[in-house]
Amino acid sequence: MMPEIRDLVESPPDIEAAAFLDHQLALNMMVLPLKQEEDRLWLAMADTSNFQVINDLQTITGFFIEPVLAQETDIRYQINQLYGRAKIENIASQFLVDENLRRNEYQLNNELRAQIQNAPTVQLVDSLIESATLHRASDIHIEPYESVLRARFRIDGRLTDMQTINTSLLPNVISRLKIMAGMNIAEKRLPQDGHFNLVIHDEPIDFRLSTLPTLYGEKAVLRLLYDHQERFNIHDLGFFPEDLHNLDRLFKNPYGAVIITGPTGSGKSTTLTSFLAELNKGHVNIVTVEDPVENPIEGINHVPIDPKVGLDFPRALRHILRQDPDIIMVGEIRDRETAAIATQAAITGHLVLSTLHTNDAAGVFPRLVDMGVEPFMVAASLNGVIAQRLVRRLCSFCKDVSAPNSLEAKLLNLAPEAVICAAKGCKQCGYTGYKGRFAIYEYIILNEQRRQKMAAAKYEPSEISKILKESGRSMLENSVPNLLAGHTSAEEVIRVVLRE
């Protein structure tokens, strides 16, 4: 008879029990201390019949082990939550980059090498990185001030203070990061960029490092890019099934342009790359031009912009058109020449995908005209536009059922009797009430009738907004079903849609 599987959410582990196993051992053996009483230690295990592991753990801990069956995914999640909030200085060093260190040894004098290889510095940097991955942070900020060195993580779009560090460690910390990223540790007066890769808890992660000289020393920002399969699943982006079907058809047009718009950090590149991954078939030639290339996909030709050698967006695009492309992805339309080449390519038999900075979908059309693209070219080249924002997802462990207050009901056009959910906060979400993000969006798919209407309206944003309303729901209207389904809160929708 199969033993009952323990629900680790309903019966969370005792924090004090974690002290009987260190973090790495718990991960290696995939076991989680639940509680300790007298000479017994209860452990959650994915395989309670593995007597060798049980015997080894009895020897290691000195306790009689009481195995408890649980799902491996739940055990891993609880391990990360339980140990992830421990003091950063006490997290074991996991991932030394000895090859990079040896490769750059010729740059270092003996004294500096000894400082950078100093165990506290290495452990501090490695611990910051590991802690960030446990929190699924997208960025690590290491910021020097007059009296303190501050470490902050961007989690679900918001920066959170994580640690203060003695300022005397700044040179060693920055040098350690530069060595990992293959950068020049002797150059401290100019900004630098680099990258490196690590495998952390069996997950490959790409890191992009940027350093910048400030008044009190160099600031470092690390961008964390997690596993491609997790990042590029179009079904996890937040689109409703009917809309996803419409957009999938839009992206499968053989020619024309599709533009995704929104502010910095709104997930434009992730959405674009997710659809690009779906289009990545053996019978098409896909070429991208980006600054920088952050999401490389096998089977796609990625061209990085390099201003130092004169390779900018227009020059790269002109040469890409000679490479027999079927699909071209332009990381961002920034200037008139790029816009002109991209729209020309879209009407000459290529599918062109790109991003643009505007506040909404309606703003794309006048923006392209302002950049110097002829109005008839805008109408002829565009197949569709998507505008999106990212809202935080309510924590499924602690969200509270509530009713909208009068202001929320008015701003979001909700019935007073509507049932929604609000953020509460628990240890599962770091007491923020939210865990993860998803897209809210609006889009317009162009047909001949809409093209004629836009041309007649001379691309006035107010008139194009009317056309948009005729063809689909606005971003605010699209957010309401997510609100009523308990995916996010009224406060979050108002913050993102009405206040940004």
Indicate whether 465 pLDDT > 50. Answer: yes
Which residue has 């718990």 as its token pair?
Answer: 26
Start-to-end CA span in the chain (Å): 56
Indicate whether 236 pLDDT > 90. Answer: no
Indicate whether 337 pLDDT > 80. Answer: yes
Indicate whether 106 pLDDT > 60. Answer: no
Beta bridge partners of 152: 141, 161
H or E segment and range at residue 115? helix 110-116
Indicate whether 114 pLDDT > 60. Answer: no
| pLDDT tens-place string over residues 24-81 | 788 788 888 888 888 888 888 888 888 888 888 888 888 899 888 888 877 877 776 6
Which residue has 């060595």 as its token pair?
Answer: 179
The pLDDT assigned to 26 comes to 83
The pLDDT assigned to 97 comes to 38
What whole-number distance in Å separates Cα of residue 113 and Cα of residue 107? Answer: 9
Report the half-sphere exposure of 55 (CA within 13 A, side-chain side): 4
The pLDDT assigned to 1 comes to 44
For the range 229-236, what are the long-range contacts, defined as Cβ-Cβ under 8 Å and sequence gap of 24 or more?
231/270, 231/273, 231/274, 231/295, 232/270, 232/273, 232/274, 232/277, 232/295, 232/297, 233/274, 234/274, 234/275, 234/277, 234/278, 236/438
Indicate whether 5 pLDDT > 60. Answer: yes
What whole-number distance in Å separates Cα of residue 45 and Cα of residue 278? Answer: 37
Nearest to 162 by CA among 402, 451, 430: 430
Least confident residue range of 4-18, 255-269, 308-322, 332-346: 4-18
For the chain, percent of residues with pLDDT exceeding 70: 86
Written as one string, the DSSP assignment of 224-272 is EE--HHHHT-GGGS---HHHHHHHHHHHT-SSEEEEEE-STTSSHHHHH
Phi, psi of 380 (to 5 degrees): -75, -30
What whole-number distance in Å separates Cα of residue 26 and Cα of residue 31? Answer: 5
How high is the mean pLDDT of the chain? 83
**Mean pLDDT across 223-247:** 81
Contact (Cβ atoms closer than 8 angstroms) between residue 444 and residue 465: no
Q: In this predicted model, which residue has the larger pLDDT, 249 or 165?
A: 249
- Please report which confidence band the pLDDT of residue 103 belongs to, taking 50, 70 and 90 as the band edges: very low
Helix 119-134 × helix 170-180 angle, to 10°: 70
Contact (Cβ atoms closer than 8 angstroms) between residue 97 and residue 105: no
Nearby residues of 169 by Cβ (< 8 Å), 6 or more positions away? 120, 121, 124, 149
Question: Do β-strands 203-214 and 420-422 pair in parallel, antiparallel, or remain unpaired?
Answer: unpaired
**Mean pLDDT across 451-456:** 73
When mean pLDDT is compared over 215-224, 307-316, 371-380, the highest value belongs to 215-224
Which segments of 374-498 does DSSP mark as H helices, in order? 375-381, 406-412, 448-456, 461-471, 475-484, 490-493
What whole-number distance in Å separates Cα of residue 8 and Cα of residue 423? Answer: 21
| pLDDT tens-place string over residues 483-495 | 999 999 999 999 9
How many residues does this entry show for the chain? 500
Helix (H, G, I), strand (E, B) or coil at 434: strand
Instruction: Give the Å distances, CA to CA, from 416 to 388, 413, 484.
Output: 27, 9, 12
Written as one string, the DSSP assignment of 11-51 is SPPPGGGGGGS-HHHHHHHTEEEEEEETTEEEEEES-TT-H
The pLDDT assigned to 228 comes to 56
* Residue 87 CB coordination number (10 Å): 9
Indicate whether 21 pLDDT > 90. Answer: no
Question: Do β-strands 149-155 and 158-165 pair in parallel, antiparallel, or remain unpaired?
Answer: antiparallel
Indicate whether 123 pLDDT > 80. Answer: no
Question: Do β-strands 351-356 and 382-394 pair in parallel, antiparallel, or remain unpaired?
Answer: unpaired
Nearby residues of 161 by Cβ (< 8 Å), 6 or more positions away? 150, 151, 152
| pLDDT tens-place string over residues 408-450 | 889 898 887 899 999 988 877 878 899 889 999 999 888 888 7
